Amino acid sequence: MVVLGIESSCDETAAAIVADDRRILADTIFAQIAEHTPFGGVVPEIAARAHLDHLDDTIAAAMRQAGLDFKDLDGIAVTGGPGLIGGVIVGVMMAKAIAFAHGKPFIAVNHLEGHALTARLTDAVAFPYLLLLVSGGHCQLLVVEGVGRYRRLGATIDDAAGEAFDKAAKLMGLGFPGGPAVAAAAAKATAPFRDLPRPMKGRPDCNFSFSGLKTALRQRVDALRAAGAFDDTARADLAAGFQQAVVDCLIDRTSHALAMAKADHPTLSALVVAGGVAANQQLRAALQELAAKHGLPIVAPPPRLCTDNAAMIAWAGIERFRLGELSDFDYAPRPRWPLDSAASALAGAGVKA
């Protein structure tokens, strides 16, 4: 089975072609960084228009890369939500049009399911496993029990981890996207700042919160600025302190979730990390240590497949098509779409699902 995947829910316009034997035949991404950089963050309307401008070329490039024609495809999978609705509409309309014109099955998949199942594309991980999903829009811990079977153990009650990195970078004047900028500044630290809070640490649930950490950072930056002492050294030390605080929070919450998941699922096969923040080297090292303590392997897909991409959408489509599932042509794009509909809703700026 060969499936075309389309992703357009945030600021990456992406198309990929994946085979059910886990080969990625094409993987093309048009990253809209230049469009959004002047605003220091993703502007939804600009993103939607950029998807409209670039999606057809991106798909054509993927088809060329794979050396295939639309008639060779077995199906089209597209992100049907959750995400910035303008972009999701562009992707879904494009997928429906290709499927309709070529008489191919079409499926709208949950973007979060794409992230959740990537470890099966890259490493053939067996169910059940614990997933830490950390990106600019998502921050949650899920037990992945099967295709379409997700149990959310915890999520952020305000900002997502990547969003916290982005806001911290903006605060410190480090640029966009914030995660890599904070990590690069942190690498130059000589005396990492230690006095930042670790919100939610030790709590009996598995939820996250980063807004208090961001406020503490802002107060520190303001104080240093007022004293005329916010130089490159201070910036690097603060970036390192902030990165350490985020990693500590993520490790504390994941450690708690691992204990809960193992109690419910003695056959838990791995700790999987996905999303853009999974590219953070300090987080990867700390997760490695945590998983080893629990006697589990850590699976971290390569950064290109951790950040938003279309290969994960094609793969989620393959997993769904294999089960005989299809979407109707009247499928309506969804701005919000929780993976675990039984989990209680959490309100907050970074809560997209």
118 is a site residue for ligand KG4 (CB under 6 A):
no
- Return the residues of window 64-93 that contact ligand KG4 according to CB under 6 A: none
User: What's the distance, Cα to Cα, between the start and end of the chain in Å?
Assistant: 30
**13: Cβ contacts below 8 Å, ≥ 6 apart:** 7, 29, 30, 32, 50, 51, 54, 55, 58
- Taking the C-alpha atoms of residue 303 and residue 97, their distance in angstroms, rounded to an integer, is 31
Q: Check if the beta carbon of residue 57 is closer than 8 Å to that of residue 63.
A: no
Q: How far is the CB of 10 from ligand KG4 (least distance, A)?
A: 5
Residue 263: both structure tokens together: 């109690």
Q: How many CB atoms lie within 10 A of CB 66?
A: 23
Give the one entry of ligand KG4, Zn ion, none that residue 41 binds, where binding means its C-beta sits below a cut-off of 5 to 8 angstroms depending on kind: none
Residue 140: both structure tokens together: 């949650």
- Return the residues of window 133-152 that contact Zn ion according to CB under 5 A: 135
Q: How far is the CB of 21 from ligand KG4 (least distance, A)?
A: 26
- Comparing CA positions, the residue from 123, 142, 239 lying closest to residue 191 is 239
Farthest CA pair distance, the chain: 67
166 is a site residue for ligand KG4 (CB under 6 A):
yes
Residue 139: both structure tokens together: 């921050």
**103: Cβ contacts below 8 Å, ≥ 6 apart:** none
- Taking the C-alpha atoms of residue 91 and residue 6, their distance in angstroms, rounded to an integer, is 6
Q: Check if the beta carbon of residue 120 is closer than 8 Å to that of residue 48.
A: no
With contacts defined by CB under 6 A, name the span among 130-138, 203-211, 333-341, 343-351 that binds ligand KG4.
130-138
136 is a site residue for ligand KG4 (CB under 6 A):
yes
Residue ranges of alpha helices (H) inside the chain are: 33-36, 44-66, 85-102, 111-123, 161-171, 178-186, 211-226, 232-264, 281-293, 303-306, 311-322
Give the one entry of ligand KG4, Zn ion, none that residue 172 binds, where binding means its C-beta sits below a cut-off of 5 to 8 angstroms depending on kind: none
Q: How far is the CB of 190 from Zn ion (least distance, A)?
A: 35
Residue 135: both structure tokens together: 């990106």
Q: Which of 166, 237, 308, 319 binds Zn ion (CB under 5 A)?
A: 308
150 is a site residue for ligand KG4 (CB under 6 A):
no
40 is a site residue for ligand KG4 (CB under 6 A):
no
Q: Which of 165, 193, 208, 315 binds ligand KG4 (CB under 6 A)?
A: 165
With contacts defined by CB under 5 A, name the span among 15-23, 131-139, 142-150, 233-241 that binds Zn ion.
131-139
Size of the site for ligand KG4 (CB under 6 A): 20
Give the one entry of ligand KG4, Zn ion, none that residue 276 binds, where binding means its C-beta sits below a cut-off of 5 to 8 angstroms depending on kind: ligand KG4
Q: How far is the CB of 184 from ligand KG4 (least distance, A)?
A: 8
Residue 21: both structure tokens together: 């034997």
Q: How far is the CB of 9 from Zn ion (least distance, A)?
A: 7
Q: Which of 183, 247, 287, 353 binds ligand KG4 (CB under 6 A)?
A: 183
- Return the residues of window 249-288 that contact ligand KG4 according to CB under 6 A: 275-277, 279-280
- Comparing CA positions, the residue from 336, 339, 340, 341 lying closest to residue 352 is 336
Q: Which of 91, 137, 154, 348 binds ligand KG4 (CB under 6 A)?
A: 137
Give the one entry of ligand KG4, Zn ion, none that residue 136 binds, where binding means its C-beta sits below a cut-off of 5 to 8 angstroms depending on kind: ligand KG4
118 is a site residue for Zn ion (CB under 5 A):
no
- Return the residues of window 295-334 that contact ligand KG4 according to CB under 6 A: 307-308
Q: How far is the CB of 246 from ligand KG4 (least distance, A)?
A: 8
- Taking the C-alpha atoms of residue 111 and residue 76, their distance in angstroms, rounded to an integer, is 14
- Taking the C-alpha atoms of residue 213 and residue 337, their distance in angstroms, rounded to an integer, is 27
Q: How many CB atoms lie within 10 A of CB 204?
A: 6
> Would you tell me which residues interact with ligand KG4 (CB under 6 A)?
10, 135-137, 162-163, 165-166, 177-180, 183, 275-277, 279-280, 307-308
Could you list the residues that contact Zn ion (CB under 5 A)? Answer: 135, 308
